[in-house]
Copies of this chain bind each other. A is one copy, B any other.
Amino acid sequence: MATNNGSVSTPELLDLTIDNITPNTILINDQSPDARLRYLMARLVTHLHDFARETRLSTDEWMAAINFLVATGQICSDVRNEFILLSDILGLSLLVDSINHPKPAGSTEGSVLGPFHTHDAPTLANGASMTSDPEGEPMLALCRVVDPSGKPVAGVKIDIWETDSSGHYDVQHADRDEPSERCVMISDEDGRFWFHGIKPVPYPIPHDGPVGKLLVRLGRHCWRPSHIHFMFEKEGWDHLITALYLRNDPYETSDAVFGVKKSLVIDLGKTDAATSAKYGVAEGTLLLEQEFVLVTKDETERLRDENAVKALKALGLHMKLVDHLPVPDLD
């Protein structure tokens, strides 16, 4: 198989069969000048074709898959991404996060992004309220961002989002005119950020579309345990997408999108008199206290490269890393 542009000799694409379609498709795609894209396409075509050969995929099943993909694309909108949801329920999102954000012991683990993060959340000052839901059970959140040695990390941009008390994100309400139950905060000099939210509740992932119909056919429920999302960004630090889950939720061990890690399951406390006075809440208000441990980008890349080399060797693949991503090593 030729593997770089210029030297590739394109095959005669005639009389392609079950047995020769795969190498020929790979060869024609090898005209790309991009070594990484060539590798991705070669593996994609191999897996796609092997899937069809192993299952002897019927024409009706192929057409059902095409229709499923079209419907999945058509239901997407500015505020709904059904393909991310599909990736979530197939375990791919969790896997990609695990590959790309390995966590040294002691750092905060990642979780799935999900399809409900938006880019229009308001940046709020510490101490602000990110909820407008009077039905929600008030919850004070006192958080801190630190490095693995416990030193505060200031100036981190933190995206925070959760559902309202009915289990819906703002974007799921047809009459949404502005963001709600979501905000952006910046950690202060001591790494702290704090806000008023509401107690998370369990909720079903959107199940009125193709992904929901698939879950029904698979005999799976569509529920996620109560959680609140956090995303941390700062130059030089590894991007952390995570969430905190409430202990003893009915769906704690059966999350439809595989996001729960034991280290992210928390207990809510209640505010004492001093804390209540300090933050202006009624005594006994639900209290979320959490320290998030970020890892530097360098440390994460080092760990990711190390894991990649180890895994590729275990798979028997002769690869090299270019820009931290594997391509075939032809030397």
Contacts and interface: CB of A to CB of B under 8 A. Distances in A.
A83 B71 CA distance: 11
A119 B261 CA distance: 51
Given A28-B220, A57-B96, A66-B83, A47 B47 contact: yes
A123 interface: no
Q: Please indicate which of the listed interface residues A44, A53, A71 has the most CB atoms of chain B within 10 Å of its own CB.
A: A53
A69 B95 contact: no
A45 B43 CA distance: 15
B44 A51 contact: yes
Interface of A is mostly: helix
Interface residues of A, number: 86
A304 B41 CA distance: 29
Contact of A311 (B47, B56, B70, B312): B56
A193 interface: no
A96 B83 CA distance: 24
A48 interface: yes
Contacts of A28: 218, 220, 254
A217 B98 CA distance: 28
A197 B216 CA distance: 48
A124 interface: no
A15 B56 contact: no
Contacts of A10: 254
A157 interface: no
A232 B5 CA distance: 41
Nearest to A87: B66
Contact of A13 (B54, B95, B253, B311): B253
A18 B219 contact: no
Nearest to A75: B73
Interface stretch (A30-38, A173-181, A200-208): A30-38
Interface in A42-89: 43-45, 47-59, 61-62, 66, 69-74, 76, 81, 83-84, 87
A91 interface: yes
Contact of A18 (B72, B99, B252): B99
Interface string A313-327: 001010000001110
A55 B101 CA distance: 15
A301 to B, nearest CB: 11
A310 to B, nearest CB: 11
A61 B62 CA distance: 25
Contacts of A260: 13-15
Contacts of A87: 62, 66
Interface of A: 5, 10, 12-18, 21-22, 24-25, 28-29, 31-34, 37, 39-41, 43-45, 47-59, 61-62, 66, 69-74, 76, 81, 83-84, 87, 90-101, 217-220, 252-255, 258, 260-262, 304, 308, 311-312, 315, 317, 324-326
10 contacts: A12-B253, A17-B98, A18-B98, A24-B258, A25-B90, A28-B220, A47-B50, A52-B99, A56-B326, A73-B74
